[in-house]
Amino acid sequence: GLVTLTRLACYLQSSVFTRHRKLLLQILLPHVTRLHQIRTPPVAAMMQEGLDDGPDFLSEEERGPRAVNVDLQTDATLQVDISDALSERDKVKFTVHTKTTLPNFKQNEFSVVRQHEEFIWLHDSFVENEEYAGYIIPPAPPRPDFDASREKLQKLGEGEGSMTKEEFTKMKQELEAEYLAIFKKTVAMHEVFLCRVAAHPVLRKDMNFHVFLEYNQDLSVRGKNKKEKLEDFFKNVVKSADGVLVAGVKDVDDFFEHEKTFLIEYHNRVKDASVKSDRMIRSHKSAADDINRIASTMYSIGTQDSTDMCKFFLKVSELFEKTRKIEARVAADEDLKLADLLKYYLRESQAAKDLLYRRGRALVDYENANKALDKARAKNKDVLQAETSQQLCCQKFEKISESAKQELIDFKTRRVAAFRKNLVELAELELKHAKGNLQLLQSCLGVLKGDT
Amino acid sequence: MEASTERNPPPFPDPMDRETNSNKLEEESDDEGEDIFTGNIKSTSGTPVNQIPTDIFTEEGSGTTLQSHRVPQQDANGLRSEDDQDLFSEATVELSIDKVNNRERKEMTRPSPSVQDISFKSSATNKSLEEWEEEENKDKFELNIAVTNPEKVGDGMNAYMAYKVSTQTTLPMFKSTTFSVRRRFSDFLGLSEKLSEKHSHHGYIVPPPPEKSVVGMTKVKVGKEDHSSAEFVERRRAALERYLKRVVSHQTLLQDPDVREFLEKDELPRAVSTQALSGAGFLKMINKASDAVNKMTIKMNESDNWFEEKFQEVENEEQQLRKLHTVVDALVNHRKELCVNTAVFAKSMAMLGTSEDNTALSRALSQLAEVEDKMEHLHQEQACSDFFLFAELLADYIRLLGAVRNSFDHRMKTWQKWQDAQNTLQKKREVEAKLLWANKPDKLQQAKEEITEWEAKVTQYEGDFERICTTVRQEVLRFEKEKARDFKIHIIKYLESLLLSQQRIIKYWEAFLPEAKAIV
């Protein structure tokens, strides 16, 4: 902990300070110390959240990564987590920490610093690797997006002169909290990706993965330039067109046919649910913000005078201040347990669909190879070549089919477990907050009624 | 203000437990017979009320019937035993009637120009004001008013909404104890016009009526049976009810026969001058504009700082409340938005649940969808209570503060009148002096007459001014008390509704939790 802190402190000192960075750092420094993981059996549970010094029911809670695979618990041979993270002007630096007993690594415990692009590079290397065609590739973490938050921070800095000190402090606190929340989320998502890879029996052995974990220099992975992005775009277009064709081919195997229909429908519905949940949570946040403003306005009315009514207003403003914190927490928790869950499974179901696509593609290739072989035999020309080709296709197809089946079953298990965990936690948190709110309201009403 | 002289003032009763010799300023300035009420207390409480008013009052209650905050009733009165008084549990207006023991004071506040002695000293005023401030809870009479049953009458552009105004009272000035009439919005406006004309230039704070809304009404007229027009009608109904309650809680206004007529009379002549696009309407607008200009030009020598301070306070408060109202409005809108989004999300969750092939998880997701559905209803109700209890309260008070400012303005006008009269008198005196010098006896006579006339006017206006000062002071204090009480009551109700929501949230999630845990 101390080592990390001093390292960070040095790092911070050396950076060039702009006004924004100053603000950002002011915000982060007190919190960075808390970005230590807490080791608990499943996979490393995350940072603690301490927004304010409120009463107990407002304090810390744990968060786990989204996809909880029950098998992950017992694996001590390779444990990966993100022990630290630092946000700079336009990038986030993650400290990837590995603990392993595997012989392939030089040490048993080590850390490297990685950026988002390097994660993407790793993910893409999996996708492009033919060997892994039969596996669900863990979805890549989304890009850290602090733009909105940064904008707000900038506006706040500019408008500093035009608002009262209390308002400024309050807004700054809110923005800090928001920034922190986004920050923690992105760290969690990057961690989940690594954990999934580490838990996968085949992927964990990947060379690139080992390099990623161990090589403590910059991987010199640059983001894709415009040309490459354009290529990607076209590739995707072709792929989706192809995907439609491939999906149209009815599968002989019932299991896969069922999975295909299921996944397509499920994916669409998860997408819908994810979008709608986002909207709902945003409204909730707005409502909480409004209560905040009501609290401040009532406070300023209450401080005008010392009449009975003013005292009354002050008490009510206090109450609203507290309840809005709880409401904000409710929205944040819903975001975490529900919206993020849905988003994650949106991405995973897409990855599962991709797997099915690859299998479908292999099947089509196999069938085409069969046809080619028949034709070659008929013409008695290039038969050997056709035979080898057909055999390759057959092998490839069967290999994919075999692993795909297991992968899809695992996916189901993981999904059910993750939903269960998150729904239970969601319900518990909602209850906790509602009870907290209730308590606040009851005590306040008691005081107010007693006064009158 | 007409004095109801048909009543014979009964002899001075022995005040029950009140100080006999306090110099209290009375509130019903016109009615020498205010003692009637004290005299009659015994008689009315004795008479059992046979009529069971259930039929009138059991109609749809006010849309904001929540956990009612029962205001304790003093008089044990047959009506109280009715248990379907939900309509009135929030509606009780407690009238307090001052005991008048000092005839001198009484006569002084009579508006008729026959002012005998202005033995009025500011110190005395202050003392009596204090005592008046201390005095609370006198004999309470019941007067419960409800506005219910909005019904559309007629069709097309000539249609209007008629509301049922039900009164339940033990006040003897009414012909019966329970009665109801049908009134339309323009009737209310007509009433408020009359009250304003009669009372506001004496400095009374006349509650402003609910606002007109051409758009809202047109929708209703055209017959759009949708949610927003239903909302509009409900909002108006609630506003009308609050308006009437405020009117009758003001002693002076209650005594006004127009109010009585409004509550009692079956058919009222149509108040045409309240129409927005009528000749009278335009005239009013012009008058308002000219008033505003005049206001700006009056510079008053404020002898009493109290008025200056209070006026500032009132203005500040109005500003603050406006700000608060905007924010509460935003909250209402966001909650409505949340409501819609939650409903949409619930459906989406249900869909996801059906496509999920693990049965336990599928069931849990459907349950979650149901929980969210219930939450949507909760948010809807919460938004309603946000609006009716909080936002409307603020809106009402913003308008009332406007009325308070009006009474201050009237005071200024009265002062101006007095000053003008003094100036005219001065001028007349100068004319007289000139005539004396020029020695024109016939014109002199005329001048002398004019002087006497103006002297009388000056005295009268001075008296008016003193009176309006007192009234304004009284009114402001009364208003502040009422405001504090109103706010407390409503905000407490609002918090109680919040509390209820939280309890329900707990219930819903507690029901869901085992389902979630049952996922295998």
Residue of B nearest to A424 (CA): B516
- The answer, for B69 touching chain A at a CB cutoff of 8 Å, is no
For residues A394-401, average pLDDT: 90
Q: How confident is the model at residue B518 (pLDDT cuts 50, 70, 90)?
A: confident
Which chain A residues in 315-344 lie under 8 Å from chain B, judged by CB atoms? 316, 319, 323
- The answer, for B506 touching chain A at a CB cutoff of 8 Å, is yes
Task: Give B367's contacts (C-beta < 8 A, 6+ positions apart).
Answer: B512, B515, B516
Q: In 3D, which of A116, A138, A115, A144 has the Cα closest to residue A126? A: A138
Provide the 10 A C-beta neighbour count for residue A449: 13
For residues B103-125, average pLDDT: 39
Give the model's pLDDT for residue B210.
84
- The answer, for B230 touching chain A at a CB cutoff of 8 Å, is no
- The answer, for A257 touching chain B at a CB cutoff of 8 Å, is no
- The answer, for A409 touching chain B at a CB cutoff of 8 Å, is no
Please tell me whether residue B452 adopts helix, strand or coil conformation: helix
CA distance B334 to chain A (A): 5
Q: How confident is the model at residue B127 (pLDDT cuts 50, 70, 90)?
A: very low
Q: Does the pLDDT value for residue B273 go beyond 80?
A: no
Interchain CB distance below 8 Å, A283 and B502: no
Per-residue H/E/C for B220-257? HHHCCCCHHHHHHHHHHHHHHHHHHHHHHCCHHHHHCH
Which chain A residues in 367-406 lie under 8 Å from chain B, judged by CB atoms? none
**Which residues, listed in sequence order, are joined to residue A443 by a DSSP beta bridge?**
none
Q: Does the pLDDT value for residue A103 go beyond 80?
A: yes
Which chain A residues in 72-131 lie under 8 Å from chain B, judged by CB atoms? none
Q: Which residue has the tokens 């003001």?
A: B250
Q: In 3D, which of A362, A351, A139 has the Cα closest to residue A263? A: A351
Measure the CA–CA gap between B214 and B520, rounded to whole angstroms: 59
Which stretch, A150-159, A233-242, B442-451, B460-469, has highest mean pLDDT? B460-469
Of A252-261, B104-113, B211-220, least confident by mean pLDDT is B104-113
Q: How confident is the model at residue B398 (pLDDT cuts 50, 70, 90)?
A: very high
The CATH architecture assigned to A68-223 reads: 2-Layer Sandwich (3.30)
- The answer, for B317 touching chain A at a CB cutoff of 8 Å, is yes
In order of A328, A391, B316, the CA distances from A300 in angstroms are: 22, 81, 11
Q: In 3D, which of B335, B336, B333, B367 has the Cα closest to residue B350? A: B367
Interchain CB distance below 8 Å, B499 and A301: no
Give the model's pLDDT for residue B278.
63
Helix runs in B356-440, H state only: 359-385, 392-438
* Tokens found for residue B72: 């304790």
* Tokens found for residue A94: 């993650």
Task: Give A133's contacts (C-beta < 8 A, 6+ positions apart).
Answer: A355, A358, A359, A362, A396, A400
For A441, the closest of B313, B356, B499 (CB atoms) is: B499
* Tokens found for residue B363: 């069931």
Interchain CB distance below 8 Å, A441 and B348: no
Q: In 3D, which of A342, A341, A338, A321 has the Cα closest to residue A330? A: A338
Which candidate in B71, B315, B498, B500 is best for mutational testing of the A interface (most A CBs within 10 A)?
A: B498
For residues B449-454, average pLDDT: 87
Provide the 10 A C-beta neighbour count for residue B329: 17
Domain with CATH 3.30.1520.10 in chain A: 68-223
- The answer, yes or no, to whether ipTM is higher than 0.85 is no
Measure the CA–CA gap between A66 and A46, rounded to whole angstroms: 11
Which candidate in B313, B316, B331 is best for mutational testing of the A interface (most A CBs within 10 A)?
A: B331
Show residues of chain B in contact with A423, CB under 8 Å: 364, 368, 516, 519
Measure the CA–CA gap between A390 and A367, rounded to whole angstroms: 8
Instruction: Report yes or no: A111 and A97 within 8 Å, Cβ to Cβ.
Output: yes
